[in-house]
Structures are given as structure tokens and as C-alpha cells.
Chain A
Amino acid sequence: MIKGIKNLGDYFIMMKKVISRPEKYSMFFRQLRLEINKIGLDSVGIVIIISFFIGAVITIQQYLNIEDPLIPKYLIGLVTRDALILEFSPTMIGLILAGKIGSNISSEIGTMRITEQIDALEIMGINSASFLVLPKIIAAIISFPILIILSVSIGIIGGLFGGQSVGVLTSDFVQGLQYEFIPFYVTYSIIKTIVFAYLITSISAYFGYHTKGGAINVGVSSTKAVVYSSILILIFNFILTDLILS
């Protein structure tokens, strides 16, 4: 309990250092470009693959569950759309990115810590926390919503293909996609995504930045980063859904 409170205190102390004016904007934007590349562009592939197949599976499952002839078939498209926008894309992709990006950030910063590269930055008179972590947080906040919109789009395409494989008419599916669309769901989804982006990057950076010891501890920090990010994503998913949708 006391250790948990201490960790929370250390996290906020680090975040106070992180959220400060960059020492040199040209260097900050260079780092930001690199991070957008690593966090955003490098994740496009995995997001496309997962979203396509999950979209297809959601559609097939809906088709198999709706056997009643009184229930219109266009509801398959509607359910697929809402499942993707409300839950699958922001939360599931968030959890997947927590694994991919969280472990990457934590091990990168952890290795820099144990090889004294962070000390070297501090000796040069640089705010190492801000220099290393702030570009990652901003890159994630910029990249994640784009990835989530991409995920929803690819998921719907996957749903279309999945539906065709079991005999759902394209016209029914498209009608469902357009039926009673609530634009606020997209806003809700993006709000969640931004919160998740912040949680994943800041928590992973925290565990990396406070790594002590050697290679084994880098692995431990990485694992902790993924576990804590995932748990907090689920907790904040519940809180945000309760606050925004209910």
C-alpha cells in the first residue's frame, strides 16, 4: 500500500518534470517526428490486420445469432458499426497498443537509464524526463485517434467481407451502417483513445525511467508497464463510459 502511494507520488513528480516547456523547439519537433513514426506509422500494419479480422468475426457472429426472420438483417451492419466505434477499436486496440508500444517505450527508456544515457542528458543540463517522454506522449495523442479511425474503417471493411462469406447482402449491411448513426459515439471513442494514449505512454515511460539494475530489470519494467497500462485502460474505460454515455 505504502509502496503504491510512493509510486503514485513518484509518477506525479516525474509528470511535473515531463510537462514543461521544451528546451529547444527544433530538437523537440525532431523527436516528435521520430516518435510519430515509431508510435503511429509502425503500428498501422498490426491495427489493419487485427481490425479487419475482428470486423469480419463480429459480423459473422451477429449473423449466426440473428436467426429470427422478424429481425431485419440490416441490424448486423448496425451492431458491427457500434461495436467497433464504441468498444472494439478504442479499447481492444488500446490494449494491443499497450503491449506493443508500452513495452517498447519502457524498455527503450529503461535501457537508456541503465547505460547512463539519461544521466548523460542530465549532466548536459537537459531535463531528461521532458526531453524523452513529452514527445512520446504528444506523438501518441496525435497518432492514436488516427489509428482508431483507421481501425473502425478497416473493421467495417472486414465486416463487409465477413458478411458476404455467410450470405449477408451488401445492401443490408450498408443500410445498417447508415441506420441511426450517432456522431457523438465517434467523439466518445476519440476522448477514450486520447486518455488511453496518455496512460500507455506516461505509465510505460514512468517504469522505464525508474529502472534500476541491469537487463533483467529492464524486462521487469517492461512487463510492469504493460500490466499497469492494461489495467488502467480497463478502469478508465469503465469510468469514461459511465461519465460520458450514461
Chain B
Amino acid sequence: MIIIENIHKQFGENKVLNNVSFDFEQGKTNLIIGESGSGKTTLLKILIGLHSLDEGNIIYDGRIFNQMKLKEKRQIRQEIGMLFQGGALFDYMTVEENIMFPLTMFTNQSTEEKLDRVNFCLKRVNLENKNKLLPSELSGGMLKRVAIARAISMNPKYLLCDEPNSGLDPKTAILIDNLIKEITEEYNITTIVNTHDMNSVMQIGENIAFIYNGTIWWKGNKEELINSNNRELNEFVFASELFKRLKKS
């Protein structure tokens, strides 16, 4: 479980996050939704320590992350799997080397053990026998799946995903969503997905935080979201005709 308490973040004069508090529950896909520029990515980067925070606390299962020294933070980060928007695979390494990389860095496993783990992870994301391909030879959906395989290779306790569906066709997007949900339930991990894709919200949204003007404007699950009367939330979620019709029905 990850708890954030009263987070404040300001870039110069621009207040990006203002008193943000939320509980990201274990075994659930926790979604952060909001318009572009609302502070979603900043919040995710603060969670993993890529941005410092001005005030507040980030608590990973009782451990206060923001009060830790860099060395301790690095220990926690080894428990985090992160799926970046563009995949962030190392482009000079093959698929196999990318997934094996954290295992080589942080375990003393033999090459055979590492290969077994790589093959298991690739099988889990339905990408068997793609070991020797380079990232440049993969499609967008395959890239994301390899990135998920790399993220889960170390059996993480926390999985953080930044816009996992950006640039993907609807069918592949659903595949990625389902994969994230399945992995979350299978390993009972705390998953946080940062998205503005409403299909994802409807597909996997179990614990949702809507960020508006730098604050948590609304929280709930997908059923509560559909029935909510919050004006700002409705303007964001039901912006398209399709979702307006869904709301009416």
C-alpha cells in the first residue's frame, strides 16, 4: 500500500499539486486521472523520487520515502516496477537483455536462472520467442509488453504505469489494461496507473483519483464515477459523445 499525505509541489510560481492525499490500495489497480497538465505525471514522478516534494509524505508500507537518504530510496526503488509512457527500453539491448538487466544488476542468479525468468516474464506478456529482437524491431504494443515484462522481472511490490495506452490502438490498449489488472491481482501488488484514457478507466478502474487544479477533486471506483454528479469530473469523463450516451443509458 502506498499512502500520500498532504503533498504540495510548486515549480517557480506555478503551484502544480496542492494538499494532495490519497491511499493507493494493495491488490487493486489505482488510477490517477485528469486533464493534460493537471499534475498527474508530476505526482507519479514525486512518488518515485524523480521530483522532490515541497511538503507532505509518501509512505510505502509504513516507510516514509521522502525522509530517506538516496541509498535507502534506491533500496525501495528496487521493489518498484515502472512502465514508462514510451517504454524506456534500452535501445542498444535486445528484449532478453532488457528484461535480464535488473536481474543481472541486483541478483546473483546464474545465466540459466535469469534466462528462465526472462522466458517466464515474456510468456506472461504473450511474447514468447521474441528474445533476440531489438526494441527498434518491435511494434508499440510489443514495446509496452516488453516494458511490463521488465517491470515484473524482479517481482515488484509496486507497479507504476505512466500512460500505458498512449499511442496504442483500442484492441492493444485493452490487452495492456487487462495485463496490468491480471498482474496486479496475481501478485497482489499495489498498482498505480496514470491515464486520461476513459476506456482504461472503465476497464480497470477500481480505486480512482481525479486530479483537477492540482488537488484530488474526486475519488471512488468506476461505478461511482459513472453515477457521480461532480461537474468537473463529468466534464472530463463524459467529454465524448460515446461516454455521454453511456452516462444517459
Interface of A with B (CB < 8 Å)?
A: 23-24, 26-27, 112, 115-117, 119-120, 122-127
Q: A116-B84, A122-B48, A123-B160 are in contact. List 5 more A-B contacts (CB 8 A).
A: A24-B104, A119-B88, A120-B90, A124-B77, A127-B74
Rounded to whole Å, the gap between the CB of A108 and the closest CB of chain B is: 9
Contact call B85/A116, Cβ cutoff below 8 A = yes
Contact residues in B for A26 (Cβ distance below 8 Å):
104
B78 at interface by CB-CB < 8 Å: yes
Contact residues in B for A127 (Cβ distance below 8 Å):
74
Contact residues in A for B82 (Cβ distance below 8 Å):
119-120, 123
Report the separation of the CA atoms of residues A147 and B75 in the bound assembly, to the nearest whole angstrom. 41
Contact call A122/B50, Cβ cutoff below 8 A = yes
Interface of B with A (CB < 8 Å)?
A: 48-50, 73-78, 80, 82, 84-86, 88-91, 101-102, 104-106, 160
Contact call B50/A119, Cβ cutoff below 8 A = yes
Q: Knowing A119-B50, A120-B82 are in contact, say whether A126-B88 is a contact too (CB < 8 A).
A: no
Rounded to whole Å, the gap between the CB of A96 and the closest CB of chain B is: 25
Contact residues in A for B50 (Cβ distance below 8 Å):
119, 122-123
Contact call B106/A115, Cβ cutoff below 8 A = no
Contact call A124/B78, Cβ cutoff below 8 A = yes
Report the separation of the CA atoms of residues A177 and B48 in the bound assembly, to the nearest whole angstrom. 62
Rounded to whole Å, the gap between the CB of A33 and the closest CB of chain B is: 13
Contact call B88/A117, Cβ cutoff below 8 A = yes
Q: Knowing A122-B50, A125-B75 are in contact, say whether A116-B88 is a contact too (CB < 8 A).
A: yes
Main DSSP-derived SS at the B contact region: mixed
Q: Knowing A125-B74, A125-B75 are in contact, say whether A120-B104 is a contact too (CB < 8 A).
A: no
Please, could you name 27 A-B residue pairs with CB atoms under 8 Å apart, sorted by A?
Answer: A23-B105, A24-B105, A27-B105, A115-B91, A116-B86, A116-B88, A117-B90, A117-B91, A119-B82, A120-B84, A120-B90, A122-B49, A122-B50, A123-B48, A123-B50, A123-B77, A123-B80, A124-B77, A124-B101, A124-B102, A124-B105, A124-B106, A125-B77, A125-B78, A125-B106, A126-B74, A126-B105
Closest A residue to B80 by CB, please name it: A123
Report the separation of the CA atoms of residues A127 and B105 in the bound assembly, to the nearest whole angstrom. 11
Report the separation of the CA atoms of residues A126 and B105 in the bound assembly, to the nearest whole angstrom. 8
Taking a contact as CB atoms closer than 8 A, the residue among A23, A24, A120 that contacts B88 in the complex is A120
Contact residues in B for A112 (Cβ distance below 8 Å):
90
Report the separation of the CA atoms of residues A120 and B146 in the bound assembly, to the nearest whole angstrom. 14
Closest B residue to A119 by CB, please name it: B50
Closest A residue to B85 by CB, please name it: A116
Which 5 A-B residue pairs are closest in the complex by CB-CB distance? Answer: A125-B74, A125-B77, A120-B88, A116-B88, A125-B78
Rounded to whole Å, the gap between the CB of B226 and the closest CB of chain A is: 33
Closest A residue to B45 by CB, please name it: A119
Rounded to whole Å, the gap between the CB of A89 and the closest CB of chain B is: 31
Contact residues in A for B88 (Cβ distance below 8 Å):
115-117, 119-120
Report the separation of the CA atoms of residues A26 and B114 in the bound assembly, to the nearest whole angstrom. 15
Contact call B77/A122, Cβ cutoff below 8 A = yes
Closest A residue to B98 by CB, please name it: A120
Report the separation of the CA atoms of residues A24 and B91 in the bound assembly, to the nearest whole angstrom. 21
Closest B residue to A23 by CB, please name it: B105
Rounded to whole Å, the gap between the CB of B114 and the closest CB of chain A is: 12
Rounded to whole Å, the gap between the CB of A218 and the closest CB of chain B is: 14
Rounded to whole Å, the gap between the CB of A133 and the closest CB of chain B is: 16
Report the separation of the CA atoms of residues A24 and B89 in the bound assembly, to the nearest whole angstrom. 20
Contact residues in B for A23 (Cβ distance below 8 Å):
105
Rounded to whole Å, the gap between the CB of B94 and the closest CB of chain A is: 14
Contact residues in B for A115 (Cβ distance below 8 Å):
86, 88, 91
Report the separation of the CA atoms of residues A26 and B100 in the bound assembly, to the nearest whole angstrom. 14
Report the separation of the CA atoms of residues A116 and B76 in the bound assembly, to the nearest whole angstrom. 19
Report the separation of the CA atoms of residues A31 and B212 in the bound assembly, to the nearest whole angstrom. 44
Contact residues in A for B106 (Cβ distance below 8 Å):
124-125
Closest A residue to B76 by CB, please name it: A125
Report the separation of the CA atoms of residues A112 and B84 in the bound assembly, to the nearest whole angstrom. 13
Rounded to whole Å, the gap between the CB of A6 and the closest CB of chain B is: 15
Contact residues in A for B78 (Cβ distance below 8 Å):
124-125
Rounded to whole Å, the gap between the CB of B167 and the closest CB of chain A is: 14
Contact residues in B for A122 (Cβ distance below 8 Å):
48-50, 77
Report the separation of the CA atoms of residues A26 and B77 in the bound assembly, to the nearest whole angstrom. 21
Contact residues in B for A27 (Cβ distance below 8 Å):
104-105
